[in-house]
Amino acid sequence: AADAVLGDASVDHQQIVQDILEDHLEAAQENIADEQIRESLAQSLTDVCRRLKVFLEAAEVINEVSPKSKDIIVGTGEKLACEYVAALLQDKGVDAKYVNLEKAIDRHFDASHLDQTFYDYLSQRFATIVRACGDTVPVVTGYFGPCPGSILYSIGRGYTDLTAALIAVGVGAQELQVWKEVDGIFTADPRKVPTARLLRIITPEEAAELTYYGSEVIHPFTMEQVIRAAIPIRIKNVQNPDGAGTVIFPDLLSRPASSMGSGEPSPSMSTPEMLLENGYMLDLSRRHPTAVTIKDEITVLNIHSNRKSVSHGFFARIFSILDKYGITVDLISTSEVHVSMALSNLVIERNLQPAIEELSSLGAVDIMRNMAILSLVGKQMRNMVGIAGSMFQTLAQSGVNIEMISQGASEINISCVIDNTKSSIALRAIHETLLSGNKNNLLRDPEVLRELKHRGLANSLHTTMSEISLASLKRGH
Protein backbone atom coordinates (compact mmCIF):
# COMPACT_ATOMS: atom_id res chain seq x y z
CA ALA A 1 0.00 0.00 0.00
CA ALA A 2 2.84 2.39 0.82
CA ASP A 3 4.47 1.72 -2.55
CA ALA A 4 1.16 2.32 -4.33
CA VAL A 5 0.90 5.73 -2.68
CA LEU A 6 4.19 6.78 -4.29
CA GLY A 7 2.94 6.49 -7.82
CA ASP A 8 2.50 2.83 -8.75
CA ALA A 9 -0.71 3.32 -10.70
CA SER A 10 -1.11 -0.43 -11.25
CA VAL A 11 -1.78 -0.92 -7.52
CA ASP A 12 -4.86 0.49 -5.78
CA HIS A 13 -3.88 1.10 -2.15
CA GLN A 14 -7.51 1.61 -1.17
CA GLN A 15 -8.39 -1.81 -2.58
CA ILE A 16 -5.46 -3.41 -0.75
CA VAL A 17 -6.78 -2.12 2.57
CA GLN A 18 -10.32 -3.20 1.68
CA ASP A 19 -9.12 -6.72 0.83
CA ILE A 20 -7.30 -6.97 4.16
CA LEU A 21 -10.44 -5.84 6.00
CA GLU A 22 -12.60 -8.39 4.20
CA ASP A 23 -10.14 -11.18 5.02
CA HIS A 24 -10.42 -10.35 8.73
CA LEU A 25 -14.20 -10.05 8.60
CA GLU A 26 -14.47 -13.40 6.83
CA ALA A 27 -12.24 -15.05 9.45
CA ALA A 28 -14.39 -13.54 12.21
CA GLN A 29 -17.56 -14.84 10.57
CA GLU A 30 -16.11 -18.36 10.41
CA ASN A 31 -14.51 -18.54 13.86
CA ILE A 32 -16.45 -16.30 16.26
CA ALA A 33 -19.85 -17.66 17.28
CA ASP A 34 -21.05 -14.87 19.59
CA GLU A 35 -22.89 -12.37 17.40
CA GLN A 36 -22.36 -9.41 19.73
CA ILE A 37 -18.60 -9.99 19.93
CA ARG A 38 -18.44 -10.48 16.17
CA GLU A 39 -20.35 -7.28 15.40
CA SER A 40 -18.27 -5.25 17.85
CA LEU A 41 -15.09 -6.61 16.25
CA ALA A 42 -16.36 -5.84 12.74
CA GLN A 43 -17.02 -2.23 13.74
CA SER A 44 -13.57 -1.83 15.30
CA LEU A 45 -11.79 -3.37 12.30
CA THR A 46 -13.75 -1.20 9.89
CA ASP A 47 -12.83 1.95 11.85
CA VAL A 48 -9.12 1.03 11.86
CA CYS A 49 -9.13 0.43 8.09
CA ARG A 50 -11.10 3.61 7.43
CA ARG A 51 -8.49 5.68 9.28
CA LEU A 52 -5.71 3.96 7.32
CA LYS A 53 -7.43 4.75 4.02
CA VAL A 54 -7.67 8.43 4.99
CA PHE A 55 -4.00 8.41 6.01
CA LEU A 56 -2.94 6.87 2.68
CA GLU A 57 -5.00 9.41 0.75
CA ALA A 58 -3.22 12.24 2.56
CA ALA A 59 0.17 10.67 1.82
CA GLU A 60 -0.81 10.34 -1.83
CA VAL A 61 -1.67 14.05 -2.02
CA ILE A 62 1.78 15.11 -0.81
CA ASN A 63 3.42 12.18 -2.67
CA GLU A 64 5.53 11.23 0.33
CA VAL A 65 5.74 8.32 2.74
CA SER A 66 8.17 9.18 5.52
CA PRO A 67 9.80 6.57 7.76
CA LYS A 68 7.32 7.30 10.53
CA SER A 69 4.47 7.05 8.03
CA LYS A 70 5.66 3.54 7.19
CA ASP A 71 5.62 2.78 10.92
CA ILE A 72 1.95 3.73 11.09
CA ILE A 73 1.07 1.65 8.03
CA VAL A 74 2.88 -1.44 9.34
CA GLY A 75 1.44 -0.91 12.83
CA THR A 76 -2.10 -1.02 11.46
CA GLY A 77 -1.70 -4.69 10.61
CA GLU A 78 -0.87 -5.45 14.25
CA LYS A 79 -3.94 -3.58 15.44
CA LEU A 80 -6.15 -5.69 13.20
CA ALA A 81 -4.51 -8.93 14.31
CA CYS A 82 -4.63 -8.11 18.03
CA GLU A 83 -8.25 -6.97 17.92
CA TYR A 84 -9.16 -10.21 16.16
CA VAL A 85 -7.25 -12.44 18.62
CA ALA A 86 -8.75 -10.65 21.64
CA ALA A 87 -12.27 -11.16 20.23
CA LEU A 88 -11.52 -14.81 19.45
CA LEU A 89 -10.39 -15.42 23.04
CA GLN A 90 -13.48 -13.66 24.40
CA ASP A 91 -15.67 -15.88 22.24
CA LYS A 92 -13.98 -18.92 23.82
CA GLY A 93 -14.76 -17.65 27.31
CA VAL A 94 -11.37 -16.09 28.07
CA ASP A 95 -11.39 -12.68 29.75
CA ALA A 96 -9.12 -10.98 27.20
CA LYS A 97 -8.45 -7.36 26.32
CA TYR A 98 -6.93 -5.64 23.29
CA VAL A 99 -4.06 -3.38 24.41
CA ASN A 100 -2.75 -0.75 21.99
CA LEU A 101 0.71 0.58 22.88
CA GLU A 102 0.85 3.31 20.23
CA LYS A 103 0.61 6.06 22.87
CA ALA A 104 3.01 4.43 25.33
CA ILE A 105 5.84 6.93 24.77
CA ASP A 106 5.04 10.15 26.63
CA ARG A 107 8.54 11.65 26.79
CA HIS A 108 10.91 13.11 24.21
CA PHE A 109 14.01 11.14 23.22
CA ASP A 110 16.76 12.09 20.79
CA ALA A 111 16.71 9.64 17.89
CA SER A 112 20.52 9.75 17.67
CA HIS A 113 20.92 8.63 21.30
CA LEU A 114 18.57 5.70 21.85
CA ASP A 115 20.65 4.06 24.56
CA GLN A 116 19.67 1.59 27.28
CA THR A 117 17.94 4.39 29.19
CA PHE A 118 15.29 4.53 26.45
CA TYR A 119 14.64 0.79 26.56
CA ASP A 120 14.51 0.75 30.37
CA TYR A 121 11.91 3.52 30.15
CA LEU A 122 9.88 1.54 27.61
CA SER A 123 10.03 -1.55 29.79
CA GLN A 124 8.56 0.30 32.76
CA ARG A 125 5.90 2.01 30.64
CA PHE A 126 4.82 -1.27 29.06
CA ALA A 127 4.74 -2.98 32.47
CA THR A 128 2.50 -0.25 33.90
CA ILE A 129 0.04 -0.63 31.02
CA VAL A 130 0.00 -4.44 31.21
CA ARG A 131 -0.37 -4.53 35.00
CA ALA A 132 -3.41 -2.27 34.70
CA CYS A 133 -5.19 -5.18 32.98
CA GLY A 134 -5.26 -7.08 36.27
CA ASP A 135 -6.41 -10.67 35.76
CA THR A 136 -7.53 -9.94 32.20
CA VAL A 137 -5.40 -11.51 29.46
CA PRO A 138 -3.76 -8.64 27.52
CA VAL A 139 -3.38 -9.00 23.74
CA VAL A 140 -0.67 -6.42 23.08
CA THR A 141 0.48 -4.80 19.85
CA GLY A 142 4.19 -5.08 19.08
CA TYR A 143 4.01 -1.61 17.54
CA PHE A 144 4.43 1.04 20.25
CA GLY A 145 3.78 4.27 18.40
CA PRO A 146 5.99 7.07 17.11
CA CYS A 147 9.50 5.95 18.01
CA PRO A 148 12.29 8.54 17.76
CA GLY A 149 13.74 8.23 14.28
CA SER A 150 11.14 5.61 13.19
CA ILE A 151 10.62 2.19 14.74
CA LEU A 152 11.57 0.39 11.50
CA TYR A 153 14.79 2.37 11.03
CA SER A 154 15.89 2.64 14.67
CA ILE A 155 15.00 -0.90 15.74
CA GLY A 156 14.07 -2.89 12.63
CA ARG A 157 11.39 -5.45 11.85
CA GLY A 158 12.24 -7.42 14.98
CA TYR A 159 10.56 -4.74 17.08
CA THR A 160 7.63 -7.02 17.96
CA ASP A 161 9.97 -9.49 19.69
CA LEU A 162 11.64 -6.53 21.40
CA THR A 163 8.29 -5.33 22.75
CA ALA A 164 7.60 -8.77 24.21
CA ALA A 165 11.08 -8.84 25.75
CA LEU A 166 10.67 -5.41 27.35
CA ILE A 167 7.27 -6.39 28.78
CA ALA A 168 8.81 -9.58 30.22
CA VAL A 169 11.56 -7.53 31.88
CA GLY A 170 9.12 -4.90 33.16
CA VAL A 171 6.72 -7.36 34.82
CA GLY A 172 9.52 -9.65 36.03
CA ALA A 173 8.34 -12.66 34.02
CA GLN A 174 9.66 -16.13 34.83
CA GLU A 175 10.05 -16.92 31.13
CA LEU A 176 9.62 -15.28 27.72
CA GLN A 177 8.09 -17.51 25.06
CA VAL A 178 8.66 -16.60 21.42
CA TRP A 179 6.41 -18.54 19.05
CA LYS A 180 7.78 -19.25 15.59
CA GLU A 181 6.98 -21.73 12.81
CA VAL A 182 9.82 -24.05 13.82
CA ASP A 183 10.20 -26.34 16.85
CA GLY A 184 13.16 -24.38 18.16
CA ILE A 185 16.86 -24.10 17.42
CA PHE A 186 18.46 -27.04 15.64
CA THR A 187 22.02 -28.26 15.20
CA ALA A 188 21.57 -27.24 11.53
CA ASP A 189 18.75 -26.10 9.27
CA PRO A 190 16.46 -29.19 9.25
CA ARG A 191 15.27 -28.26 5.76
CA LYS A 192 18.83 -28.76 4.48
CA VAL A 193 20.09 -31.39 6.92
CA PRO A 194 17.49 -34.11 7.63
CA THR A 195 19.51 -35.45 10.58
CA ALA A 196 19.58 -32.09 12.39
CA ARG A 197 18.60 -32.38 16.06
CA LEU A 198 16.59 -30.01 18.22
CA LEU A 199 18.73 -28.26 20.85
CA ARG A 200 16.88 -28.25 24.16
CA ILE A 201 19.26 -25.76 25.80
CA ILE A 202 21.54 -23.14 24.29
CA THR A 203 23.50 -20.18 25.66
CA PRO A 204 22.69 -16.58 24.67
CA GLU A 205 26.13 -16.22 23.08
CA GLU A 206 25.57 -19.27 20.89
CA ALA A 207 22.07 -18.12 19.91
CA ALA A 208 23.41 -14.68 18.97
CA GLU A 209 26.13 -16.17 16.76
CA LEU A 210 23.67 -18.50 15.03
CA THR A 211 21.31 -15.59 14.36
CA TYR A 212 24.06 -13.39 12.94
CA TYR A 213 25.38 -16.09 10.65
CA GLY A 214 22.14 -17.18 9.04
CA SER A 215 19.84 -19.00 11.48
CA GLU A 216 16.62 -17.08 12.07
CA VAL A 217 16.29 -17.37 15.83
CA ILE A 218 15.72 -14.12 17.70
CA HIS A 219 17.32 -10.71 17.30
CA PRO A 220 20.46 -10.43 19.50
CA PHE A 221 19.39 -7.04 20.89
CA THR A 222 15.99 -8.44 21.88
CA MET A 223 17.74 -11.34 23.57
CA GLU A 224 20.12 -9.01 25.36
CA GLN A 225 17.25 -7.18 27.07
CA VAL A 226 15.85 -10.38 28.56
CA ILE A 227 19.13 -12.10 29.39
CA ARG A 228 20.45 -9.12 31.34
CA ALA A 229 17.38 -9.54 33.57
CA ALA A 230 18.18 -13.28 33.96
CA ILE A 231 14.95 -14.34 32.23
CA PRO A 232 15.13 -17.49 30.06
CA ILE A 233 13.70 -17.43 26.52
CA ARG A 234 11.83 -20.43 25.14
CA ILE A 235 11.42 -20.79 21.37
CA LYS A 236 8.18 -22.66 20.57
CA ASN A 237 6.30 -23.78 17.45
CA VAL A 238 2.76 -22.49 16.82
CA GLN A 239 2.05 -25.67 14.86
CA ASN A 240 3.40 -27.92 17.63
CA PRO A 241 2.39 -26.26 20.92
CA ASP A 242 3.14 -29.37 23.00
CA GLY A 243 6.76 -29.50 21.85
CA ALA A 244 9.46 -28.66 24.40
CA GLY A 245 11.11 -26.07 22.16
CA THR A 246 14.55 -24.62 22.84
CA VAL A 247 15.45 -22.70 26.00
CA ILE A 248 18.00 -19.88 25.80
CA PHE A 249 19.29 -19.73 29.35
CA PRO A 250 21.07 -16.71 30.87
CA ASP A 251 22.81 -18.81 33.52
CA LEU A 252 22.35 -22.55 33.32
CA LEU A 253 23.61 -23.18 36.83
CA SER A 254 21.62 -20.49 38.64
CA ARG A 255 18.20 -22.14 38.40
CA PRO A 256 16.89 -25.55 39.41
CA ALA A 257 15.66 -27.94 36.72
CA SER A 258 12.08 -27.62 37.99
CA SER A 259 11.99 -23.96 36.92
CA MET A 260 12.34 -24.89 33.28
CA GLY A 261 8.65 -25.46 32.71
CA SER A 262 6.70 -28.13 30.90
CA GLY A 263 8.27 -30.21 28.19
CA GLU A 264 11.70 -30.25 29.87
CA PRO A 265 13.31 -33.16 31.74
CA SER A 266 11.43 -34.43 34.78
CA PRO A 267 11.83 -32.46 38.05
CA SER A 268 13.88 -35.37 39.42
CA MET A 269 16.64 -34.59 36.91
CA SER A 270 19.19 -32.22 38.42
CA THR A 271 20.64 -29.23 36.61
CA PRO A 272 24.06 -30.93 36.21
CA GLU A 273 22.36 -33.99 34.71
CA MET A 274 20.43 -31.74 32.34
CA LEU A 275 23.62 -29.98 31.28
CA LEU A 276 25.41 -33.24 30.55
CA GLU A 277 22.42 -34.57 28.60
CA ASN A 278 22.53 -31.51 26.37
CA GLY A 279 26.25 -31.68 25.65
CA TYR A 280 27.53 -29.25 28.30
CA MET A 281 30.33 -29.72 30.78
CA LEU A 282 29.66 -28.31 34.25
CA ASP A 283 31.71 -25.17 33.46
CA LEU A 284 29.17 -24.41 30.68
CA SER A 285 31.57 -25.43 27.91
CA ARG A 286 30.38 -28.07 25.46
CA ARG A 287 31.97 -31.43 24.77
CA HIS A 288 31.39 -30.80 21.07
CA PRO A 289 30.21 -27.91 18.83
CA THR A 290 26.61 -26.77 19.20
CA ALA A 291 25.47 -26.13 15.64
CA VAL A 292 26.54 -25.32 12.11
CA THR A 293 24.92 -22.70 9.91
CA ILE A 294 25.21 -21.26 6.42
CA LYS A 295 24.76 -17.65 5.36
CA ASP A 296 24.20 -17.55 1.60
CA GLU A 297 24.52 -14.71 -0.91
CA ILE A 298 27.89 -13.37 0.17
CA THR A 299 30.33 -11.21 -1.78
CA VAL A 300 34.04 -11.19 -0.86
CA LEU A 301 36.31 -8.19 -1.41
CA ASN A 302 40.06 -8.81 -1.42
CA ILE A 303 42.19 -5.67 -1.10
CA HIS A 304 45.91 -6.00 -1.84
CA SER A 305 47.84 -2.96 -0.61
CA ASN A 306 49.80 -1.05 -3.24
CA ARG A 307 52.57 -0.59 -0.65
CA LYS A 308 55.10 -3.20 0.45
CA SER A 309 54.28 -2.43 4.06
CA VAL A 310 50.94 -1.15 5.27
CA SER A 311 50.78 2.36 6.69
CA HIS A 312 49.05 2.91 10.04
CA GLY A 313 46.10 4.52 8.30
CA PHE A 314 45.45 1.68 5.84
CA PHE A 315 42.78 -0.13 7.84
CA ALA A 316 41.26 3.13 9.05
CA ARG A 317 40.83 4.33 5.46
CA ILE A 318 39.20 1.04 4.43
CA PHE A 319 36.60 1.19 7.18
CA SER A 320 36.06 4.90 6.66
CA ILE A 321 35.10 4.21 3.03
CA LEU A 322 32.80 1.34 4.01
CA ASP A 323 31.14 3.51 6.65
CA LYS A 324 30.66 6.30 4.13
CA TYR A 325 28.53 4.00 1.96
CA GLY A 326 26.78 2.23 4.83
CA ILE A 327 28.41 -1.14 4.15
CA THR A 328 28.58 -3.67 7.00
CA VAL A 329 31.27 -6.36 7.06
CA ASP A 330 30.15 -9.86 8.10
CA LEU A 331 33.61 -11.40 8.26
CA ILE A 332 37.17 -10.08 7.96
CA SER A 333 40.63 -11.60 7.65
CA THR A 334 43.83 -9.54 7.52
CA SER A 335 47.55 -9.81 6.97
CA GLU A 336 50.22 -7.10 6.72
CA VAL A 337 49.39 -6.16 3.14
CA HIS A 338 46.08 -7.87 2.48
CA VAL A 339 42.49 -7.57 3.71
CA SER A 340 39.62 -9.92 2.86
CA MET A 341 36.06 -8.95 3.74
CA ALA A 342 32.82 -10.91 3.37
CA LEU A 343 29.73 -8.76 2.74
CA SER A 344 26.08 -9.70 2.52
CA ASN A 345 24.54 -9.32 -0.94
CA LEU A 346 21.86 -7.23 0.75
CA VAL A 347 24.32 -4.36 0.27
CA ILE A 348 22.80 -2.22 -2.44
CA GLU A 349 24.87 -2.44 -5.63
CA ARG A 350 24.74 1.32 -6.14
CA ASN A 351 26.54 1.68 -2.80
CA LEU A 352 29.02 -1.12 -3.38
CA GLN A 353 30.36 0.04 -6.73
CA PRO A 354 31.47 3.55 -5.67
CA ALA A 355 32.95 2.04 -2.51
CA ILE A 356 35.03 -0.35 -4.62
CA GLU A 357 36.22 2.56 -6.77
CA GLU A 358 37.47 4.42 -3.69
CA LEU A 359 39.04 1.28 -2.22
CA SER A 360 40.96 0.84 -5.48
CA SER A 361 43.04 3.89 -4.55
CA LEU A 362 44.49 1.81 -1.69
CA GLY A 363 45.44 -1.16 -3.86
CA ALA A 364 44.11 -3.87 -6.17
CA VAL A 365 40.56 -4.97 -5.36
CA ASP A 366 39.33 -8.44 -6.33
CA ILE A 367 35.63 -9.32 -6.13
CA MET A 368 34.31 -12.82 -5.55
CA ARG A 369 30.54 -13.20 -5.86
CA ASN A 370 28.15 -16.08 -5.14
CA MET A 371 29.91 -17.14 -1.97
CA ALA A 372 28.62 -18.37 1.41
CA ILE A 373 29.75 -18.19 5.04
CA LEU A 374 29.87 -21.53 6.86
CA SER A 375 30.01 -21.11 10.65
CA LEU A 376 30.60 -23.75 13.30
CA VAL A 377 29.29 -22.49 16.65
CA GLY A 378 29.94 -23.75 20.17
CA LYS A 379 30.72 -22.29 23.57
CA GLN A 380 34.46 -22.12 24.31
CA MET A 381 35.42 -23.84 21.07
CA ARG A 382 38.91 -22.51 21.62
CA ASN A 383 39.29 -25.27 24.20
CA MET A 384 38.08 -28.04 21.86
CA VAL A 385 41.50 -29.31 20.76
CA GLY A 386 41.64 -30.19 17.07
CA ILE A 387 38.16 -28.90 16.20
CA ALA A 388 39.40 -26.46 13.54
CA GLY A 389 41.55 -29.15 11.94
CA SER A 390 38.62 -31.57 11.88
CA MET A 391 36.39 -28.93 10.32
CA PHE A 392 38.78 -28.07 7.51
CA GLN A 393 39.75 -31.71 6.90
CA THR A 394 36.07 -32.62 6.53
CA LEU A 395 35.56 -29.83 3.99
CA ALA A 396 38.63 -30.91 2.02
CA GLN A 397 37.50 -34.53 1.96
CA SER A 398 34.12 -33.38 0.65
CA GLY A 399 35.69 -31.40 -2.19
CA VAL A 400 34.91 -27.98 -0.71
CA ASN A 401 37.55 -25.29 -1.22
CA ILE A 402 37.99 -22.65 1.49
CA GLU A 403 38.43 -19.06 0.27
CA MET A 404 38.71 -17.32 3.64
CA ILE A 405 38.98 -18.29 7.33
CA SER A 406 38.11 -16.35 10.47
CA GLN A 407 37.73 -17.28 14.14
CA GLY A 408 35.63 -14.78 16.06
CA ALA A 409 36.92 -12.88 19.07
CA SER A 410 33.97 -14.37 20.97
CA GLU A 411 35.79 -17.73 20.84
CA ILE A 412 32.52 -19.51 20.08
CA ASN A 413 32.60 -19.66 16.30
CA ILE A 414 34.90 -20.68 13.48
CA SER A 415 33.80 -19.35 10.10
CA CYS A 416 35.00 -19.80 6.56
CA VAL A 417 33.91 -18.59 3.14
CA ILE A 418 33.14 -21.19 0.49
CA ASP A 419 31.56 -21.31 -2.97
CA ASN A 420 27.79 -20.97 -2.66
CA THR A 421 27.26 -23.98 -4.94
CA LYS A 422 29.02 -26.15 -2.34
CA SER A 423 27.06 -24.84 0.66
CA SER A 424 24.68 -27.80 0.87
CA ILE A 425 27.48 -30.38 0.69
CA ALA A 426 29.57 -28.49 3.24
CA LEU A 427 26.70 -28.05 5.69
CA ARG A 428 25.80 -31.74 5.64
CA ALA A 429 29.40 -32.91 5.80
CA ILE A 430 30.26 -30.77 8.83
CA HIS A 431 27.04 -31.74 10.60
CA GLU A 432 27.47 -35.47 10.07
CA THR A 433 31.15 -35.45 11.02
CA LEU A 434 31.30 -32.99 13.94
CA LEU A 435 27.78 -32.87 15.36
CA SER A 436 26.36 -36.36 14.86
CA GLY A 437 29.25 -38.15 16.53
CA ASN A 438 29.64 -40.59 13.64
CA LYS A 439 31.88 -39.73 10.70
CA ASN A 440 30.55 -42.63 8.68
CA ASN A 441 27.14 -40.91 8.52
CA LEU A 442 28.72 -38.83 5.76
CA LEU A 443 28.51 -41.79 3.45
CA ARG A 444 24.76 -42.04 3.95
CA ASP A 445 24.33 -38.60 2.39
CA PRO A 446 24.00 -39.16 -1.38
CA GLU A 447 25.13 -35.63 -2.28
CA VAL A 448 28.33 -35.90 -0.25
CA LEU A 449 28.94 -39.44 -1.50
CA ARG A 450 28.63 -38.30 -5.14
CA GLU A 451 31.28 -35.64 -4.53
CA LEU A 452 33.61 -38.16 -2.89
CA LYS A 453 33.17 -40.61 -5.77
CA HIS A 454 33.83 -37.83 -8.26
CA ARG A 455 37.17 -37.15 -6.56
CA GLY A 456 37.97 -40.87 -6.51
CA LEU A 457 37.84 -41.03 -2.71
CA ALA A 458 34.85 -43.36 -2.44
CA ASN A 459 33.65 -46.23 -4.57
CA SER A 460 30.93 -47.89 -2.51
CA LEU A 461 28.47 -47.31 0.31
CA HIS A 462 30.72 -49.45 2.53
CA THR A 463 33.71 -47.11 2.33
CA THR A 464 34.54 -45.67 5.76
CA MET A 465 35.83 -42.22 6.59
CA SER A 466 39.10 -43.71 7.86
CA GLU A 467 39.62 -45.35 4.47
CA ILE A 468 38.85 -42.04 2.74
CA SER A 469 41.38 -40.21 4.95
CA LEU A 470 44.02 -42.81 4.06
CA ALA A 471 43.20 -42.48 0.37
CA SER A 472 43.50 -38.69 0.66
CA LEU A 473 47.00 -38.98 2.10
CA LYS A 474 48.12 -41.42 -0.58
CA ARG A 475 46.76 -39.21 -3.37
CA GLY A 476 48.16 -36.01 -1.88
CA HIS A 477 44.73 -34.42 -1.26
pLDDT of residue 250: 77
pTM of the entire predicted model: 0.74
φ/ψ bin of 456: left (φ > 0), alpha (ψ from -120 to 50), beta (otherwise):
left
First to last CA, the chain: 56
pLDDT at residue 431 above 80? yes
> 232-268 pLDDT, tens per residue?
999 999 999 999 899 998 754 444 343 444 334 333 3
DSSP string, 388-422: HHHHHHHHHHTT--EEEEEE-TTSSEEEEEEEGGG
pLDDT at residue 5 above 90? no
SS in 3 state form for 140-152?
ECCCCCCCCCCHH
Give how far the C-alpha of residue 459 lies from the chain's centroid of Cα atoms, to the nearest Å.
40
Give yes or no for a contact between 299 and 369, defined as CB atoms under 8 angstroms apart.
Answer: yes
pLDDT at residue 443 above 60? no
pLDDT at residue 271 above 50? no
What gap in Å lies between CA 70 and CA 67, rounded to an integer? 5
96 pairs with which residues across the strands?
137
Q: pLDDT band for position 105 (50/70/90)?
A: confident
Domains in the chain with CATH codes: 174-284 (3.40.1160.10), 291-475 (3.30.2130.10)
Q: How many CB atoms lie within 10 A of CB 469?
A: 15
List % helix, strand, coil for the chain (3-state, nearest 5). Answer: 45, 20, 35
Q: pLDDT band for position 163 (50/70/90)?
A: very high
Looking at residue 253, its amino acid is L
What gap in Å lies between CA 388 and CA 464, rounded to an integer? 21
> 57-103 pLDDT, tens per residue?
898 888 888 888 888 898 999 999 999 999 999 999 999 999 999 88
Q: pLDDT band for position 6 (50/70/90)?
A: low
Q: Find the mean pLDDT for residues 319-335.
A: 89
What gap in Å lies between CA 7 and CA 432, rounded to an integer? 52
pLDDT at residue 186 above 70? yes
Sign of CA dihedral 452, 456, 460, 465: negative
pLDDT of residue 155: 76
DSSP label at residue 137: E
